[in-house]
Amino acid sequence: MSTANGPAPDNATPHANDQPARPAPSRFLRGLLFFLTLSCLVLAVLWIALPRIAQELFVPALARTLHAPELSMDIRGAGFSGLDLGEISLSSDAGLAAEAVLIDWSLSGLLRGRIDRIRILGLSIRVQKNVDDWDIPGLPRLQKSSGAESGTMFLPWVDEMSVEGRISLEGPGLGHSFPFSVNGGLDEDAGIVLNAETALAGQSVNLALKGNLRQNDFRLTCVLPPASIAALAGMVPGLDALPLAGTVRAEAHASLPPNQKPVLEARLGLDSLRTMLGDTPLAQDGNATLDLAWQEEPRLSISALSLDAPLPLTLSVADIRANLEEMSFGCSWDLTAQALSGFAFSSPPHLAGSFELKASKQGWNMRATAALDALEARPTQTPELVLALDTTTLTLDAAKGSSGTRVDGSLALGRLRVTRETLGATLSGLNMTVNATAAPDVSGTIRLTGARLEAKQPGMALTTTRLDGQCAFALAEQLTLSGVINAAVRAGSGDTVALMNLRLPLAWPEPTTASGSVDLDLKWKGKGLAKISSRIAQDLHGASLDGNLSVLPVAVRAPLKGRIDAKNISGSWIEMKAAQTITMPGKLTSLLPALGDLSGSARLDATARLDMSSGAPMLPADLKLTGLSLAHTTSELTLSGGAVELAFSNLLNMRSDPDGRMNFERLQLGTIILEQGDIHFQVEALHSILVEGCRFEWAGGRIGSQAFRINPNVEDYTVELYCDRVEMAQALEQFGMTQAQGGGTANGRIPVHWADGNLTFDNGFLYSTPGEKGVLRVKGTEILTAGIPPGTPQYGQLDLAAEALKDFTYDWARIRINTQERELVVSLELDGKPEKPLPFSYNRDIGGFARVEASSPGSVFQGIRLDVNFRLPLDQLLQYRQLLELMKNGG
């Protein structure tokens, strides 16, 4: 309370000298110090015991959560500045393990959700190939909790993240391991940046990821710098042994914008690829790229791909279309061959087409087309040979449905022309169709229709009137084929025509039980010459032939047998044998009416065998005619005791063996009579016959010739006949002096000239044998004075010579033989004397000898030389004109 002297003192206010209150602060400080000390001791104990506690409590709980009972983790340290984890393994054989995990933080950072650094060292990822799947052994399968609620995910802020490790690929044919490293970070706004590097078989691969985990906005970049194709292929089973060279490069950019469709851009490049396909090299020229852009729908583009080997080709693909909603894909393409070895083209071959693939409710539908532009080519080795092909088209349709797959294809081959100088062949109208189904076994039919083949050469033409076939096939446990080939061919040369029909059933692998047939008819001016009729049957190795060969004009019928070995062509053969007597004219008169006057017979023995044992076709053949006799009254031709023997080592070469022979006992042509003929010859080719030599008995002596050739295309021949000890009188008689008699021989040569269808004699001569006298008696010599006026000196000389030749002894004689204006001129020169006095005396008025009356004794000539010319019609003498007409048109 207050007083007058001032306020009353406050007993509650302490005074400075109040000693009892001083001990309170000291006790507080001691208590605080004790608390801090105790806290430090507790924290120290916790710091020391925390890894042990975590090891005992946290690791088992984590193992239960991950369903990894063998989970092991070495917690080496944990504190306010970070976490140090040692070796981590899911199991003893787990495919995921780490040597260490280091996490650095600060207490202030943790309070703000920030981690300074996360480092994972020695991360090992082992990936195994199990049948069709890849997996990591021991990797737990986490399941999302059913009670999880959606909400904003808490994401820490990580300044720095790094991973270093190795990935191993294991499996059949696999044993690859490559290192990798990842660096990046996660900012406070959930923005993530990761950069990864690895090396596949020593080839670098870089990946970069940028995005925002809260906004679900991501961008991924993958880059493969130019890398060795061989090194990368070595990682793929089955490709490690394939020889490869070249480089590949790739780059891909993918982004996933929030609430938008993903965007993908990629480029793949291939440079200088080299490899081998079997024994065939494959080499790329330059580089090629594939570009892909995908947002609303995929867009593809491919640059041209060029090859150097096996062929210089350029492939271009354009107008690529892909629609994921309709599940369809399509493109157009073209292929150009810059050059082909061994051929020269007027323009590069060009093949273009299109491809369409579209899904259906029950499968898919596919259509492909291709067209080869018209081209013309010449083989470089034979530039005169020209190959020309018109536009050729191909279509292929395929569809897969609930009942299976069906394929329908067709090929329309353009007109193919092959020409070489005057030779030419054309194949046109060939169409091939294929219809097949797979439900589930594959079966179908292949048909060839509309084909027509035409071939021409000077004087000959060949045409097919039918060329088609069909084949049914089936593929179940094995492929089976069954079909038939039909062909009808007509070949003609001048008046000769050959017609062939073939029907050949085939099957595989078991041969067909049905037999086919092959028939060949050879005709001349519509009349039959020869015919082959054979059955053809397939067997396990090819086909067999069993038929007959008939030569119709002479009624020859020979069995024909053969075998065609499709597996071993050297085992193929065809054989014909003929052994019978032929009689003429037979049906030859239907071909040549003039042969109605022909009669004769012969024994024919012939064999021929087409053989392939040497790897190339060989046709040895033998022909023998014995007992040959012929007679043709019109041409006064007769032949008796004839024989012909001819052999061919290979008839296909049309060259016979040397020393072919033709013999006869007697040959008469008009007044000319040849006996004991022996001709040696060889057929050198279709157009050449070599007469090696010929010898005959003629006019009591022998004549022969040296070698000469006969060629149907040659119209000028000269053959010299050499005469040895020919009876003079018989020679004159055969030259047309039918009443010549006497004795004495002569030798010489007679050149026979054939030109332009005419036979002539050019300065032939016969000389009497030196030192040998002869007698010549010629009757009918009145022809020497025919047409000459009597009483003239010329008439007297010829009349004297005609009388002397009736009985003349000569010391020497010479006969000259020539042809003048289609007449045979026989010049007879004699030196001797008449055997009797001649009824002639010298007449001074005419300056020569003149015939006297029979009562006159005449004159005795002691020596006289006679030069006499006889002119005879050569055509009638030899009758060769009738033979020519007979050979040309049957008379």
pLDDT, one tens digit per residue, over 203-218 is: 899 999 998 888 888 8
Answer whether residue 568 shows pLDDT above 70.
yes
Query: What is the secondary structure of 539-593 as a DSSP string?
Result: -SSEEEEEEEEEEGGGTEEEEEEEEEESS-GGG-EEEEEEEEEEEESTTGGGT-G
Question: What pLDDT sits at residue 162?
Answer: 93
Question: What pLDDT sits at residue 526?
Answer: 87
Say if residues 732 and 712 touch (Cβ distance below 8 Å). no
Give the pair of three-digit tokens for residue 592.
């040549």
**Cα-trace Rg, the chain:** 58
Say if residues 890 and 594 touch (Cβ distance below 8 Å). yes
Say if residues 772 and 782 touch (Cβ distance below 8 Å). no
Closest CA to 366 of 317, 334, 328, 404: 328
The 8-class DSSP code of residue 381 comes to S
Chain centroid to Cα 106, Å, comes to 81
Tell me what the mean pLDDT of segment 70-77 comes to: 78
* Residue 39: band (very low, low, confident or very high) from pLDDT cuts 50, 70, 90: low
In a domain, 816, yes or no: yes
Residue at 10: amino acid letter: D
Query: What is the secondary structure of 161-227 as a DSSP string?
Result: EEEEEEEEEEETTEEEEEEEEEEEEE-TTSEEEEEEEEEETTEEEEEEEEEETTTTEEEEEEEEEEE
Q: By three-state DSSP, how is residue 702 classified? A: strand
Beta-carbon count within 10 A of 324 CB: 11
Question: What pLDDT sits at residue 27?
Answer: 65
C-alpha span between 657 and 613 (Å, rounded): 20
C-alpha span between 476 and 367 (Å, rounded): 26
In a domain, 650, yes or no: no
Question: What pLDDT sits at residue 195?
Answer: 94
In a domain, 788, yes or no: yes
Phi-psi category of 76—alpha, beta or left, where left has phi over 0 and alpha has psi -120 to 50?
Answer: alpha
- What residue numbers bound the domain in which 752 lies? 715-891
In a domain, 887, yes or no: yes
Query: Distances in Å between the alpha carbon of 240 and those of 202, 234, 270?
Result: 15, 4, 19
pTM: 0.62
The pLDDT > 70 percentage for the chain reads: 89
Answer whether residue 887 shows pLDDT above 50.
no
In a domain, 561, yes or no: no
Answer whether residue 865 shows pLDDT above 90.
no
In a domain, 627, yes or no: no
pLDDT, one tens digit per residue, over 156-214 is: 888 899 999 998 888 777 778 889 999 999 888 888 999 999 998 888 999 999 988 88
Among all chains, which residue has been given the structure tokens 């000469």?
Answer: 708
In a domain, 756, yes or no: yes
Say if residues 158 and 125 touch (Cβ distance below 8 Å). no
Answer whether residue 520 shows pLDDT above 70.
yes
The pLDDT > 90 percentage for the chain reads: 36
Question: What pLDDT sits at residue 152?
Answer: 56
Answer whether residue 153 shows pLDDT above 60.
no
Give the count of domains, the chain: 1
In a domain, 884, yes or no: yes
- In sequence order, the 6+-apart residues with CB closer than 8 A to the CB of 343 are 377, 378, 379, 380
Answer whether residue 811 shows pLDDT above 50.
yes
Question: What pLDDT sits at residue 57?
Answer: 65
Say if residues 406 and 398 touch (Cβ distance below 8 Å). yes
